[in-house]
Amino acid sequence: MRRAWGGLTRRQIFTLAVLFAGDVALLLAGWTIVRGAAPAGAATPISPAICQAAGAQLLASHNLAGTARLDADGGLRLELSGRDTYGQILPRATEIAWDVFPLALALPESGCGPYPALRVDVPDSSGQPGGRLLVEVNWVDLRAWAKGELDDGELSLRLRIEPYIHPEPVRP
């Protein structure tokens, strides 16, 4: 070993020692980052309950009475009662689904979503007791529409609208 170091000057040996110490420090720092806890500024996951409350609050802030929940497939469902927050019946509640689309896009700004799909559940204006419409849109299509990559007509072709009968009224 002495022979291997014998041809090096003191300055070269010192430089190699400093480089070796630097390599060890970098390896330890990398290992700590990979194995350690998330850095202080990293985003933490938000619970579904908080996101559901944020969705309902978003509706209420736009004078819409309804609830928000996550479906089994992870999609966001906004159930509108067909009334405003003062209890007044909304005219053409089915058109409110279109008004909800841009509202839902604000949820990822608060750390919720994006979701695979948005489902807006509104009263069916046909007048059938318990009649409801489930308007579903793919989140990617919804974002493309918001960016102007899809117009209203193109988005409407991609909507899935399913009528159904709900046994009891949806309450906010």
The residue among 127, 67, 62 whose CA lies nearest residue 98 is 62
Is position 172 within any domain? no
Total of domains in the chain: 2
What is the domain range of residue 11?
2-35
Same domain, 55 and 31: no
Same domain, 56 and 141: yes
Same domain, 106 and 83: yes
What is the structure's pLDDT at 4?
62
Q: Around Cβ 18, how many Cβ atoms within 10 Å?
A: 10
Same domain, 121 and 157: yes
Same domain, 90 and 19: no
Is position 41 within any domain? no
Q: Which amino acid is located at 140 in the chain?
A: V
* pLDDT tens-place values along the chain, 172 residues long: 556 666 778 887 777 777 777 777 766 666 666 665 444 444 446 788 898 999 999 999 988 889 999 999 999 999 998 888 888 888 776 788 888 999 999 998 888 888 999 999 998 877 778 888 999 999 999 999 999 999 999 999 999 999 888 776 556 5
Same domain, 16 and 57: no
Q: CA-based Rg of the chain, rounded to a whole angstrom? A: 28
Is position 159 within any domain? yes
Same domain, 28 and 113: no
The residue among 115, 135, 120, 126 whose CA lies nearest residue 170 is 120
Same domain, 56 and 135: yes
Confirm if 76 and 107 have CB atoms less than 8 A apart. yes
Is position 52 within any domain? yes
